[in-house]
Amino acid sequence: MTLTLNPLGCEEGKPADRSAFSFETTTRLPDSAAGLGRGGKRYGRTGIIHTPHGDIRTPAFVPVATQSAMKAVLPEQMKDLGAQCLLSNAFHLFERPGEDVLDEAGGLAQFMNWDGPTYTDSGGFQVLSLGAGFKKTLAMDVQGMKSDDVIADGKERMAFVDEDGVTFKSPLNGSLHRFSAEISMRIQHKLGADIMFAFDELTTLMNTRSYQEQSVERTFRWAKRCVAEHQQLTQTRLGKPYQALFGVVQGANYEDLRRLAASQIASLDFDGVGIGGAIEKQLLGQTCAWICDEMPESRPRHVLGIAAVNDIFDAVENGGDTFDCVAPARNGRNGAIFTRDGRWNVKRAEFKHDFRPLEEDCDCYTCRNYSRAYVDHLLRAREFNGFTLATIHNEHFFVKLLDDIRAAIDAGYFDEFKRETLARFYAHGSRG
């Protein structure tokens, strides 16, 4: 692999050239009577995100390399399976090895030997995952009472929100840390990803309407501070490539709050938008459409944290350009395998003597070279090679799914492809 050592828009002694980042639309889905946007608008499209470290053809799946690494899979293998870009977690890299180390190394891509664009999220999801103990999830099924003090079973509240930011305990050693809009921007600038996200407050679906209203306004105030700090750092950190900043839209399941939040983020000088927060599954497509109604089409849209096949189709049809989620890798390490015929667990007894590939006609490295029986054995034995082979297949499945969706939009058969793919994937009631 040859790294992009001289990213675009980067000149020694000068501020970054913002023109090195841009987005262009290639093909738009036609509007229809069933379209969820205003007047039957369908916001699905193909396009190209141009970054200093290369292009991303959209729609695209963005695998999550949380700590500047895909667990058990090398960057070269991610490139071979078709990944265009990777996303890492600002909070975890802040904890170790520290943002200064990545800055000294030349940025995230250089540090992990990745030849391509990179993303970092802001650390804002800690408000949910540490504050209430829930996993990082966008599309949720939720029941129960509304409460602003809700805590997941068996969890302790480890993050506390105030107007200026968030104070939280480190899950590594219990030490106290502080994140704010400005701190998140400083960390992410040193991490050096091509695309980063504004610091936001991620609420749960159980929070009350009153709290959701307060949170949307607080996220807007933080967003304005993020833009100001980002612009100041862009001017003073000379000789660095331009880093695009995406604002994040919150508002839970409330149409008026989602539209308000989207219009607020649209009013600020962001390069793109992140569709964030927890959303009930049946409202995912509608929520994306509400947000896109209020957003300029010139900005790319990233949907944070989804990897269910039907969710991806709903989000693409209603405007999602890029998607990230830890689920393909995490599920793979536990034996759950994604195929065109559904999701199933390779550690079932029936596969102990099954010498077929994980998926017939799949061209990933795992399926070309190894059997279900072998992957089953490795995972049961907790051999790291099992994590590698399962992850390669699952990440390839989602990367290729988005590649195929992109091709279907460009060729004009998205609706047929969606029907056929979902019918086949869910024919046996499989999850995912």
Q: Which residues are catalytic?
A: 121, 324
Task: Determine whether the annotation assigns residue 367 to a binding site.
Answer: yes
Task: Determine whether the annotation assigns residue 143 to a binding site.
Answer: no
Task: Determine whether the annotation assigns residue 177 to a binding site.
Answer: no
CA distance 30 to 37: 12
Task: Determine whether the annotation assigns residue 122 to a binding site.
Answer: yes
Q: CA end-to-end span of the chain, whole Å? A: 33
Task: Determine whether the annotation assigns residue 153 to a binding site.
Answer: no
Task: Determine whether the annotation assigns residue 239 to a binding site.
Answer: no
Task: Determine whether the annotation assigns residue 180 to a binding site.
Answer: no
Task: Determine whether the annotation assigns residue 184 to a binding site.
Answer: no
Task: Determine whether the annotation assigns residue 23 to a binding site.
Answer: no
Tokens of 75: 């960057």
Task: Determine whether the annotation assigns residue 92 to a binding site.
Answer: no
Angle at 432 between CA 390 and CA 291, to 5 degrees: 120
Task: Determine whether the annotation assigns residue 21 to a binding site.
Answer: no
Binding-site annotation: residue ranges for substrate: 121-125, 200, 250, 277
Q: Which residues are annotated as a binding site?
A: 121-125, 200, 250, 277, 362, 364, 367, 393
Q: Residues annotated in the binding site for Zn(2+), as ranges?
A: 362, 364, 367, 393
